[in-house]
């Protein structure tokens, strides 16, 4: 049984890939990475994708004897295949399915090395000689599976994580550990140790997301121009968007949440919420000015009049994020939105009116002039 994972579709949330040209050296480096991962208390079930070594039957041919008896390497290979794996000699049709008919030695003649050595191999003269006169059979060990990356041997060391923590967080902990830093500093030339797994996929997703940010910003500014019909006012509202970064960063630091892909989505959504509040405030100032109210009074009255609607909508959004804040996957997004919206709402109501007055050089009208 395996829990449904949160995050990118990867086999394991924590993965490191070792690449190089010599499989034995790659295995040695991967074993050191395994030990560094086991030393981290947040990793569970450390393994690699080459699996455990499996037994290998190695046949070493005596070339001199083979030439004397007229046995070629190809002939010996076909004979060994027939003895061990079998050779298809015909096909049997059953309905619309073709089934191979395989010729090979009986099981009791190929399950032990001594019986295998007694198997006969045909020579060029038509005679048969025991296999033991031509080859030396010995057992060895080899990797169960061999993976390559960019035509080089590559071992992926991987693990699960304990409940309540994300894969990129554990990846960062292992990557910055002392053992991993020493290992990376002493890697032989031509060998690489790279981050894989959820952290790698999150980086790819982030790159794809950021590639469309300029287009999104252009669309937002275009909509502001259509709404406000003024370039200075549109630019003023547009510049209030980053105010939420202050609260988002502070909330993520306080609650120890990672600034991953979902947190970045939350910050992008936060920009839209902040700009919406700024549009409401600026639009109210313009409405009051159209009614004949002086600009200074319109700024103050708009901030007071729109205080309750802006606070209520911000509070509703913050309260709605509380259930998500306990989620391991969606928690960083909720925390970023909550912290950013709280700080940005206060700054919008205090900073935006002051910025509006400074931007358009609005002077306070004396009380006597107002009454006149």
Predicted pLDDT at 31? 92
Strands 14-20 and 43-48, sheet pairing: unpaired
Q: Does an H or E element contain 344, and which?
A: helix 331-359
Q: Does an H or E element contain 117, and which?
A: helix 113-117
Report DSSP letters for 19-51, one per residue: EES-HHHHHHHHHHHHHHHHTSTTEEEEEETT-
Predicted pLDDT at 183? 92
* Residue environment code for 242-271, b if the CB has 16+ CB neighbours within 10 A, otherwise e: ebbbebbbebbeeeebbbbbbbbbbbbbbb
Task: Give the angle 285-286-289 at the CA atoms, nearest 5°.
Answer: 90
Does pLDDT of 141 surpass 90?
Answer: no
In whole angstroms, what is the distance from residue 96 CA to residue 281 CA? 75
Mean pLDDT of 306-332: 87
Mean pLDDT of 82-87: 79
CA 106, chain centre distance (Å): 50
Q: Could you tell me the CA-to-CA distances from 210 to 81, 206, 213, 246, 358 in Å, in that order?
A: 55, 6, 5, 20, 33
Backbone angles phi, psi at 143, to 5 degrees: -60, 145
Mean pLDDT of 163-180: 87
Backbone angles phi, psi at 345, to 5 degrees: -65, -45
Judge contact between 119 and 129, C-beta under 8 A.
Answer: no
Does pLDDT of 55 surpass 70?
Answer: yes
In whole angstroms, what is the distance from residue 256 CA to residue 161 CA? 17
- Nearest partner of 318 among 335, 334, 338, 332, judged by Cα: 338
Predicted pLDDT at 115? 66
Lowest mean pLDDT among 116-130, 192-206, 327-341: 116-130
CA 261, chain centre distance (Å): 9
Other C-beta atoms closer than 10 Å to the C-beta of 194 total 13
pLDDT band at 372 (very low <50, low <70, confident <90, very high): very low
- Proportion of the chain above pLDDT 70, given as a percent: 93
Predicted pLDDT at 36? 93
**Residues ≥6 apart with Cβ < 8 Å to 135:** 59, 60, 61, 62, 76
For the chain, the farthest-separated pair of C-alpha atoms sits apart, in whole angstroms, at 128
Q: What share of the chain is helix, strand, coil (3-state, %, to 5)?
A: 55, 20, 25
199 CB-side CA count, 13 A: 19
pLDDT tens sequence across 203-249: 777 788 788 888 988 998 998 888 888 898 889 888 888 888 899 99
Q: Could you tell me the CA-to-CA distances from 111 to 85, 114, 117, 119, 129 in Å, in that order?
A: 12, 9, 11, 12, 20
In whole angstroms, what is the distance from residue 363 CA to residue 372 CA? 17
Predicted pLDDT at 209? 78
pLDDT band at 350 (very low <50, low <70, confident <90, very high): confident
Does pLDDT of 40 surpass 90?
Answer: yes
Mean pLDDT of 294-307: 88
Average pLDDT of every residue of the chain: 84
């Amino acid at each position: 049984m395996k829990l449904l994972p949160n995050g990118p579709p990867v086999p394991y949330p924590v993965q490191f890939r070792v690449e190089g040209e010599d499989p034995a050296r790659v295995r040695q480096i991967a074993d050191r990475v395994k030990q560094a991962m086991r030393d981290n208390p947040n990793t569970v079930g450390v393994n690699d994708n080459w699996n455990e070594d499996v037994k290998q039957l190695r046949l070493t041919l005596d070339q001199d004897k083979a030439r004397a008896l007229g046995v070629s390497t190809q002939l010996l290979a076909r004979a060994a295949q027939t003895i061990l794996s079998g050779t298809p000699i015909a096909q049997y049709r059953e309905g619309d399915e073709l089934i191979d008919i395989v010729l090979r030695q009986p099981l009791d003649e190929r399950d032990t090395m001594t019986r295998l050595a007694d198997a006969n191999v045909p020579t060029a003269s038509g005679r048969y000689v025991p296999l033991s006169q031509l080859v030396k059979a010995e057992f060895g060990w080899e990797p169960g599976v061999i993976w390559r990356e960019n035509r080089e041997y590559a071992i992926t060391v991987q693990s699960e994580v304990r409940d309540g923590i994300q894969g990129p967080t554990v990846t960062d902990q292992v990557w910055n550990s002392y053992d991993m830093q020493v290992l990376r500093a002493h890697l032989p030339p031509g060998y690489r140790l790279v981050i894989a797994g959820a952290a790698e996929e999150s980086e790819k997703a982030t790159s794809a997301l950021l590639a469309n940010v300029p287009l999104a910003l252009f669309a937002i500014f275009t909509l502001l121009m259509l709404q406000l019909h003024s370039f200075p006012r549109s630019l003023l509202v547009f510049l209030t968007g980053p105010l939420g970064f202050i609260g988002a960063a502070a909330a993520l630091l306080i609650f120890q949440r990672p600034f991953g892909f979902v947190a970045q989505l939350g910050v992008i959504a936060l920009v839209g919420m902040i700009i919406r509040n700024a549009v409401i405030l600026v639009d109210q100032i313009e409405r009051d000015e159209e009614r004949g109210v002086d600009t200074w009074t319109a700024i103050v009255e708009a901030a007071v009049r729109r205080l309750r609607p802006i606070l209520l909508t911000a509070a509703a959004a913050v309260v709605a994020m509380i259930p998500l804040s306990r989620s391991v996957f969606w928690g960083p997004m909720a925390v970023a939105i909550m912290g950013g919206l709280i700080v940005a709402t206060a700054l919008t109501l205090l900073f935006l009116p002051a910025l509006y007055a400074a931007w358009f050089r609005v002077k306070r009208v004396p009380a006597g002039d107002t009454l006149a």
